[in-house]
Amino acid sequence: MKKLTQMGLLLLSLMVVFAGCDAAKDAAMQAKEKAAGMADMANIDFGSFDISGLKEKITSVTDGFKDVTAENVDGLTSKISDLSGSVGDMGIGELAGPAKTAVSGMISQFSSAVTTALEGISDEGILGKLKPAVEGLMEKLKSLQ
């Protein structure tokens, strides 16, 4: 049950980052409900898949969107590129059953959070740097689901 709670909090925190947006609040509630309905993460066999590593990278990217500025956008772009470069090697495409469902749910919520965050940025300079990196990451994530 502890792992399910952690998963729920992770999904909720991914969306709460963008609490000023009503759509993000609605998505956060949906994420919370979805997490509550997921199987207990402690009972899911992820095999050699590094679920903690995926969570860490996802959190690093979403945290980067909290206070993105022209001065720190390169750091966030680097984190996005790092995640994009490593997801193919993580073995997500090889997962099956409940493990695949759980990871696909995480990726879906992450994708929604990043898309919402990107839509909330009005600075063209920041968007010019982030958008290509985000689009590349989204393409990779979509191909793995």
Q: Where do the domains of the chain lie? A: 2-144
Distance CA 35, CA 129 (A): 32
In the chain, the percentage of residues whose pLDDT exceeds 90 is 35
pLDDT attached to residue 91: 83
The pLDDT of 100-120, averaged and rounded, is 90
Distance CA 80, CA 13 (A): 18
pLDDT attached to residue 43: 74
